[in-house]
A and B are shown apart, each in its own frame.
Chain A
Amino acid sequence: MQPLNKDQWQIAASIGGPIIKKDSRIEPIPLSSVSVAYGASQNLTTFAGIHPGAIVYGVYHMDAGFSHEILAPFDRRPGITYSIDFNAFMDRQESQLKLYPQLDINAYWLMPYRNDFFYLGLSNWFELATKKAHERNQETHWIPSLHTGYTLQYDKYGFTLEMKYLAPLTNNQNLLVDYYSPSKNGSLGVYLSMSRKF
């Protein structure tokens, strides 16, 4: 969310995912990622990541992109950033490659007298394929999500708790997985991450 300073590096690890109902309990799917970010300028941060949780199950998931601050925070005015991220998936079994671009727009507010910040935003995941299994038309090409989070930012270390409302426009009934959601659409998701700046 908040851009790095120029020439600053950051590594981060996160875990979390959509919340599902399973055997009368709810739990987040434990997706995970490890990423590295670099401050290319005062308002442009580049980043790349791998997703070890997927690798365990035979799928390589990597992503890379950049985040650009278009409005710096001032007083009560939030900082505004957008990020463009490219996600690549390939499975070990059949080597099928898929690419999903992602566009996020975020607003973040710095907390008074602290380095912490609160943020909320809109994430947009794009499906480029026009066909899916059995030559059926792929009708969904835009999957938006809403997210909000809070980062406890210390000198070098940061800890973030983030909640997402994934695919809030899409019906979640009659699916292979029983998503946990406040409505019959989408799924809530919860994510924890830790970062260190250098």
Chain B
Amino acid sequence: MTNKAPMTMTQKILAAHAGLDFVHPGQFIEAGLDVCLANDITGPPAALEFEKMGGGDVFDCTKVVLTPDHFTPNKDIQAASLSKALREFAKEKGIVNYYEVGQVGIEHAFLPEQGLVTAGDVVIGGDSHTCTYGALGAFSTGVGATDVAGGMALGKSWFRVPSAIRFVLRGKPGEWVSGKDVILSIIGRIGVDGALYQSMEFAGDGVAALSMDDRFTIANMAIEAGAKNGIFPVDTRTREYLAAHPCTAPGMEKHPREFAADEDAAYDSVVEIDLSALRPTVAFPSLPGNTKTIDEAAALSVKIDQAVIGSCTNGRFSDMETAARILKGRKVADGVRCIIVPATQQIYLDCVRKGCAEIFVEAGCVFSPPTCGPCMGGHMGVLAEGERAVSTTNRNFVGRMGHTRSEVYLASPAVAAASAVTGVLTDPGTLV
């Protein structure tokens, strides 16, 4: 009997952070945290729970990150009160990584951009899309406010070690097929609880064909398959990204640690994905797993009232460039509103400097500052009864973007931009 047993990438990161040589699926462990994150919706209740846990100092004032990004710039008085509570908590606890409106971006685009998360980290965040950082080879997962409070107090959190599904990616995606199409087609295949309690571990030669932005989008929506986390192996592209995005926060040093799954690690199942066979994919109401290819969708002539391009899923600069490529010299269709939301101030600035902003405004789009607003029906594009949106966000649940009888179709920036131009769900390949 040996105490060495093969582990998945996720299991190795968790074991290292729990001070253990080996962990097995189902085991309860306590792991140290590199980052504990909250926003303007989850931070204020976490602050209340933190005081109930005895208050005092947070475990490390550089490792708590607070991002007022959801209802900001404040949409109403109650939202302003939440932001104020978050700001006061940050000030009282001396939290270094509190980012005010004007600096802050949508958290899951912002943290990697600012180098606040690196390979090998363990991150919990009071936001379900915290799983995004798996793109960097980190273990990251969403939790509720009380868990955030516990993380801020102890610098540790309990986890049940997950088993994993291995997704072997092969080949290269075709033109207009992006990370969004990869993850939507996977969720369509395995279902919205297809990876419940499990890790989604990506592997195969197809990984190298995916940009970091594609990987962020894919890891971001692991939660939409019920997963605890989604994670990519660390490769040249990861290392280049990390080198280009150093952490400059005062007193916070980040040291990437590369973990790789053992060759003989056990997986609950293995799913092969041929990237070259994928088509742009759209999730119809009201589940992210309710997918059709753009060819099936376009044949249905689905009229839209609004297109939203942005969010933690698809608000990165490459998403903006894709939208600009399609919108350049064109106009948004009559009767359609197109709302474009770059995810961070840096991306906003890049859009201005590199000409995307001008293209958007000339095409008749709204060009918004960073905010999560429209994704969950908060502000900046709420839908009325009977209205229909194509959106690059991550959820199309009943009432997600507004009225319970409004509809959301999830798609890539290319599909959303092409649909904004025609007014119906459109294959970008037929437009350009």
Q: Do A and B come from one complex?
A: no
B residues at A contact (CB < 8 Å): none
